[in-house]
Amino acid sequence: MENKEFREKFDKEYQNLCVVEKIAEIRHRANLTQDTLAKRTNTTKSAISRYENSDYKSYSMPLLNRIAGACGAVLEINFVPKNRKIKK
């Protein structure tokens, strides 16, 4: 982790993995299938599947907000100083 370039790439991938994990987690907590969530958010099952795939990197705020709402939650975004770890 001392290599700056490696650390930056790692941090970006970790951030993306956290988004994926949170989407899947909130969907499971709401006891929804990808298909049901897709219907509730007026999108497709494949779109939900993409959002839960760690290779996907083009999230849209409107769909993230609809996913949160369909799962009985609100979307929060937090900016933290680089020298401080993000709280889970």
Q: Is residue 85 part of a domain?
A: no
DSSP string of 35-76? HHHHHHTTS-HHHHHHHTSTT-----HHHHHHHHHHTT----
Q: Is residue 81 part of a domain?
A: no
Place of tokens 């996913």: 67
**Are 52 and 24 spatial neighbours (Cβ–Cβ below 8 Å)?**
yes
Supply the pLDDT for residue 25.
Answer: 97
Supply the pLDDT for residue 4.
Answer: 84
Q: Is residue 80 part of a domain?
A: no
pTM greater than 0.85: no
Query: Which residues does the chain have with pLDDT short of 50?
Result: none
Place of tokens 């996907």: 56
Supply the pLDDT for residue 38.
Answer: 98
Sign of the CA dihedral with 49 first, then 54, 58, and 64 last: positive
Supply the pLDDT for residue 46.
Answer: 97
**Both structure tokens of 61:** 């705020």
Which domain does 30 fall in, by range? 4-70
Q: Is residue 66 part of a domain?
A: yes
Q: Is residue 49 part of a domain?
A: yes
Supply the pLDDT for residue 12.
Answer: 86
Per-residue pLDDT reduced to its tens digit, 5-23: 888 888 888 888 999 999 9
Domain total of the chain: 1
